[in-house]
A and B are shown apart, each in its own frame.
Chain A
Amino acid sequence: MNYRDALSIHSKFEGEFFSCDEPIIGELVVHNNSNELVKIEKITVNLEVIHQGKGETDQVILDDLVINDYASIGPDETITHPFEFKPSYNVSFVGLAVTQNISIKTVVDIAPETEKLLRKKALGEKKILSFLGGMFIPDFYDETPVKVVRGETNYEIKKAGGTIRPGVDSAKSIMIYSLIILMVLSLFGYFLSDKQIEVVYVAIALFAVICVVTYVLKIAPSCKINYILKNVEGNFYEAHLELEKGKKLKGMSCRLVGIEEVTYDCGSSRCTSSETFHESVPTNVQQSSENTFNEVIALPEISVPISISNNDFDIIWKFEITMTTANGSALKGSAPIELGFEKERIKNPNSKNDNHFF
Chain B
Amino acid sequence: MLSIDHYTNLNLKYNPFSFLDPEKQLHATVPRFDVGVLADEIRNCESLFLEFFGKKGHGKSTHLSMLILSYLPNAEYHRLKQADRKYIKPTSNILAIDSFQLLSLKNRIELMKNQKILIYTTHLSHRSGMILRKDKTYKGFNFTTMDLELAALQKIISSKIELARLNREVSIPKVKQSYLSALYNLYKKDIRSIEAALYSEFLNPRSTCYEL
Residues of chain A touching chain B, judged by Cβ–Cβ distance below 8 Å, are: 8, 50, 52-57, 91-96, 99, 101, 103, 132-133, 136-137, 143-145, 147, 149, 260, 264-270, 277-278, 303-304
Contact = CB atoms under 8 A, between A and B. Distances in A.
Contacts of A91: 4
Nearest to B5: A147
Chain A CB within 10 Å, residue with most, of B57, B83, B101 = B83
A278 B2 CA distance: 11
Contact of A94 (B2, B70, B196): B2
Contacts of A267: 56-57, 123
Contact of A278 (B1, B3, B82): B1
A52 B7 contact: no
A2 B101 CA distance: 40
Contacts of B69: 136
Given A53-B18, A265-B99, A278-B1, 6 more contacts: A8-B168, A54-B19, A99-B15, A137-B23, A144-B13, A303-B4
Interface residues on B, range: 35 or more
A270 B19 contact: no
A277 B123 CA distance: 35
Contacts of B8: 145, 147
What's the dominant secondary structure at chain A's contact region?
Answer: strand
B4 A147 contact: yes
Interface string B58-76: 0000000000011100000
Nearest to B168: A8
Interface string B14-57: 11001111010011000000001000000000000000000011
A352 to B, nearest CB: 45
Interface string B72-107: 000000000111000000000000000101100000
A101 B57 CA distance: 26
23 contacts: A52-B18, A53-B18, A54-B18, A57-B18, A57-B19, A93-B1, A94-B1, A94-B3, A99-B18, A103-B13, A132-B70, A137-B23, A137-B26, A144-B13, A144-B166, A145-B166, A265-B99, A268-B102, A268-B123, A270-B81, A270-B82, A278-B1, A303-B4
A136 B70 contact: yes
What's the dominant secondary structure at chain B's contact region?
Answer: loop
Chain A CB within 10 Å, residue with most, of B6, B21, B36, B102 = B21
A96 B203 contact: yes
Which 7 residue pairs are nearest across A and B when measured between Cβ atoms? A267-B56, A52-B18, A277-B1, A94-B2, A136-B70, A270-B82, A92-B4
Contacts of B26: 136-137
B14 A99 contact: yes
A92 B7 CA distance: 12
B210 interface: no
A225 B16 CA distance: 45
Contacts of B14: 50, 52, 99, 101, 145
B141 interface: no
Contacts of B199: 54
A305 to B, nearest CB: 9
A50 B7 CA distance: 15
Contacts of A266: 56, 192
B203 A93 contact: no
A54 B168 CA distance: 26
Contacts of B13: 101, 103, 143-145
A272 to B, nearest CB: 11
Contact of A270 (B4, B20, B83): B83
A268 B56 contact: yes
Nearest to A262: B19
Contacts of B81: 265, 270
Nearest to A305: B1
A121 B177 CA distance: 35
A264 B56 contact: no
B6 A94 contact: yes
A212 B63 CA distance: 56
A307 B210 CA distance: 34
A141 to B, nearest CB: 8
A269 B82 contact: yes
Given A54-B196, A93-B1, A136-B69, A265 B82 contact: yes
Contacts of A145: 8, 13-14, 166
A185 to B, nearest CB: 31
Nearest to B122: A268
A5 B169 CA distance: 14
B56 to A, nearest CB: 4
Nearest to B70: A136
A53 B123 contact: no
Contacts of B168: 8
B19 A95 contact: no
Nearest to A277: B1
Contacts of A101: 13-14
A328 to B, nearest CB: 34
A106 to B, nearest CB: 13
